Structure 1
Amino acid sequence: MGASGIEHDVYTVNIFINCYCHLNQMGFSLSVLGKFFKLGLEPNVFTFNTLINGFLLKNRVVQAAELFNKMINAGNCQPDAVTYGTLVKGFCMKGNNRAAIQLLRKMEEGACKPGLVVYNTIIDSLCKDKLVDDALNLLSEMMSKGIAPDVITYTSLIHGVCKLGEWKEAKRLLNEMVSKNFFPDVCTFSVLVDTLCKEGMVGEAEGVVEMMIERDIQPNTVTYNSLMDGYCVRGEMSKARKVFKLMLSKGSMVDVFNYSTLINGYCKRKMMDEAMTLLREMSRKGLVPNTVTYNTLVDGCCKVGKLGDAQQLFSEMQACGQLPDVQTYAILLDGLCKSGQLSTAIQLFREMEGKKLDVNIVIYNILIEGLCLAGKIESARVLFRGLSSKGLQPAVRTYTIMINGLCAA
């Protein structure tokens, strides 16, 4: 541009900075900032906002805060609502609620007063950290300043009290929300359905879903999955399957998580044929089961004594590119030991060691108990004595296994 005789201006250089920030090239962004001064230009609030956001995109909250402080100290360019809002969001994303609230107080002292977006951001962060009392206090403070809450505010608060299992408080907030003509959206309702199901109140959850439909708010995949999981926990698999079919009939995007929820329900009820049918159905639909799905199925097979099927699933998951984790090995190892297949269990244990997996005390407990059950007390004792050399400390469970083994010998 300069070679063509076209002069740079603040607007043009800001575009360059913004492009580099979104490309995660903060080094180049700062170089362009240096160009500002060489050209005799003064960066404006948009320049600083872009750079602060760029640092936050790279999760560099400290550098973003430092730039904000430089902006304040320089005095020639004061932060605006966007600056404050961006940095508040950055602090909240890092879980630094204290810094976010300090910034809120700084806004209150200056000319740029906090608005609903800033309050909502902090309230949501507090609720995610289960600091609901602090969030409710902030709500009261916000309302005393004439700032009315919206659907987002109430959804965050309802989510917060739901995480604490305080259903009555969630219901109170919902009623308060409706009384103020703020109608819950699908996100609000989904939070309620999920909490009710986890509390075992599936009947009430059904009522919430019915209320959604009456208000022409269509339940989404999250809503249906929570309801399905609620039925699975209660062992009402026919109802869970009915919800699953309803999702399909409504054209909802059924994913691996939805299938895994239903598979888990069947496995818990030892209905392995139904669980395996769902696994095959996933493959036909082009869905790749994840490690959680396979762990659930391997565990289910072990619990019903189908060790051959469990081992086949163990091989199948690796062939599909899903690497077994420590939990997968622990499940299969436990099944092999309890079925008396100790040599296969020891071979699996050696495989874990060869793959440099984190062989924790749980794994050793399973193997020590397997040795004790097989009457190989001396081998169990050797494994027990070698724990400290592996950097592991025996747990209460470890001592209990050894004592029981020695007493039975």
Structure 2
Amino acid sequence: MGFSLSVLGKFFKLGLEPDVFTFTTLINGFLLENRVAEAAALIHKMMMGGNCQPNVVTYGTLVKGFCMKGNNSAAIRLLRKMEEGACKPNLVVYSTIIDSLCKDTLVDDALNLFSEMMSKDALCKEGMVVEAEGVVEMMIQRGIEPDTVTYSSLMAGYCFRGEMEKAQKVFELTLSKGSMVNVVSYSTLINGYCKHKKVDEAMMLFLDMSHKGLVPNTITYNTLLDGFCKTGRIQDAQKLFSKMQSCGQLPDAQTYSILLDGLCKNRQLSRAMQLFCEMEAKKLDIDVVIYSILLEGLFITGKIESARDLFCGLSSKGLRPDVRTYTIMINGLCIGGLTSEAKNLLVEMEGKGCSPNGCTYNTIIRGLIRNKETSRAMVLIQQMVEKGFSADASTTELIVHLLSKDEVDPALLPLIK
């Protein structure tokens, strides 16, 4: 550590700024020498400094140090500080403290922290549903009754994995508790069914909750609307939209964007434009996301000129196109055979401080290949790789198809290597 701190001194003499990795390494070094107070002082200095804030690894390192010293209360205080700030604790931070509490035979405290972690979906969101099951079973065995949020978190985990039968069983368990059943329980399961395109099952749950006197909220309606739109059932989506309003539940901007997207993707542009006018009349916040949906709808119906006009008019509305807006434009122009214009747009977006992402590169590369401009596509493939992006499944399939032909395009020869 002596030499390490000398190197840190050299940093400052040379006018170099230590980054979060530098400080985290030093904090770890202090902890290895059992100098917890100095490690804590360094993280405090980082927090006060403003320029180099600790990240989740930095916090996790100090939490581990407190736990190694048996100072669980200090570890929990740091956990609470993380929860209040911008850098939220992850599964590792929670697990470190829980492990320490168990080793100190504070099992009830450990289980309570487990329950709290479950309520934040920490286990289920990280795909650790088996561990989550164990936690719930342990809670019940020790007489700690899981609440609706805990059960909903477990349901969400099953839904995320597509294990809808298990999610349904957990839901039925909440039903058996009587007073525990609420809109959250229903909405979680409805969302799972919709995500896996089982909209009829989701609708049955929706009707069941209404029969039980539970009032569906905007989130529930939005979830079902999204399910109907993604399965091409636009008429059902429009009926639900009308029912929502007749039941006194006001659609929000998200509701309108879901239905607008569904109408556009199903080539019902005139109805989409009516809905857009309705949004304007209600003075809803129409952001660049809504305009991007409309742009996609115009391209789907072959209205390239209208799409170009709408895009060019965004700045007059005080809106800046984001990476998705540019990608939609590039895709539409490529489909229309206007590859040079699409390439110019790629250059323009970078010039305006909107960096293309992997999706943007894959979109224009596919567009160039489909328009038989393989050489230009190869230049962009190289550029994409240099920027740390890679070909997605659709682009790879297209390239493999070209390579499998009897006569391989000479421009593609570098890819064979």
TM-score bucket (shorter structure): 0.7 to 0.9
Asked if 1:88 corresponds to 2:165, the answer is: no
1:293 to 360, 376, 381: 360
Please state whether the residue corresponding to 1:34 is helix, strand or coil. helix
1:148-159 matched pairs, under 5 angstroms: 148-159=215-226
Asked if 1:178 corresponds to 2:245, the answer is: yes
Quickly say closer, same or farther: Cα 1:46–1:245, change in 2 above 3 A: farther
Mapped to 1, the partners of 2:147 and 2:73 lie a distance apart of 18
Question: Is this contact kept in 1: 2:75–2:97, CA < 8 A?
Answer: no
Mapped to 2, the partners of 1:32 and 1:340 lie a distance apart of 64
Asked if 1:232 corresponds to 2:325, the answer is: no
1:369-388 matched pairs, under 5 angstroms: none
Mapped to 2, the partners of 1:44 and 1:336 lie a distance apart of 57
Mapped to 2, the partners of 1:268 and 1:131 lie a distance apart of 32
Partner of 1:213: 280
Deviation sequence 1:120-148 (CA, Å, 0-9, x none): 11111111111111111111211121111
2:230 to 160, 163, 166: 163
Quickly say closer, same or farther: Cα 1:247–1:107, change in 2 above 3 A: same
Shift of 1:243: 2.5
Quickly say closer, same or farther: Cα 1:103–1:340, change in 2 above 3 A: closer
Question: Is this contact kept in 1: 2:323–2:356, CA < 8 A?
Answer: yes
1:59 to 127, 133, 136: 127
Shift of 1:119: 1.0
Aligned residues: 340
Shift of 1:203: 1.2
Shift of 1:174: 0.7
Partner of 2:213: 146
Mapped to 2, the partners of 1:93 and 1:100 lie a distance apart of 10
Shift of 1:197: 0.9
Mapped to 1, the partners of 2:341 and 2:310 lie a distance apart of 16
Quickly say closer, same or farther: Cα 1:177–1:35, change in 2 above 3 A: same
1:47 to 64, 88, 113: 113
Question: Is this contact kept in 1: 2:228–2:236, CA < 8 A?
Answer: yes
Deviation sequence 1:293-334 (CA, Å, 0-9, x none): 334434444555545434433444344444456755665687
Question: Is this contact kept in 1: 2:298–2:307, CA < 8 A?
Answer: yes
Asked if 1:74 corresponds to 2:142, the answer is: yes
Question: Is this contact kept in 2: 1:161–1:169, CA < 8 A?
Answer: yes
Mapped to 1, the partners of 2:343 and 2:90 lie a distance apart of 45
| Residue identity matched to 2:124 | L
Mapped to 2, the partners of 1:326 and 1:84 lie a distance apart of 36
Partner of 2:342: 275
Shift of 1:60: 1.1
Gaps of 5+ in 2: 1-69
Deviation sequence 1:342-366 (CA, Å, 0-9, x none): 5554x33532xxxxxxxxxxxxxxx
Please state whether the residue corresponding to 1:275 is helix, strand or coil. helix
Asked if 1:34 corresponds to 2:107, the answer is: no
Mapped to 1, the partners of 2:214 and 2:99 lie a distance apart of 41
Question: Is this contact kept in 2: 1:16–1:32, CA < 8 A?
Answer: no
Question: Is this contact kept in 1: 2:98–2:110, CA < 8 A?
Answer: no
Question: Is this contact kept in 1: 2:98–2:114, CA < 8 A?
Answer: no
Which deviates the most, 203-212 or 90-99? Answer: 90-99
1:84-163 matched pairs, under 5 angstroms: 84-110=151-177, 112-163=179-230
Shift of 1:12: 8.5
Identity of aligned residues (%): 29
Which deviates the most, 15-24 or 49-58? Answer: 15-24
Partner of 1:366: none
Question: Is this contact kept in 1: 2:132–2:154, CA < 8 A?
Answer: yes
Please state whether the residue corresponding to 1:22 is helix, strand or coil. coil
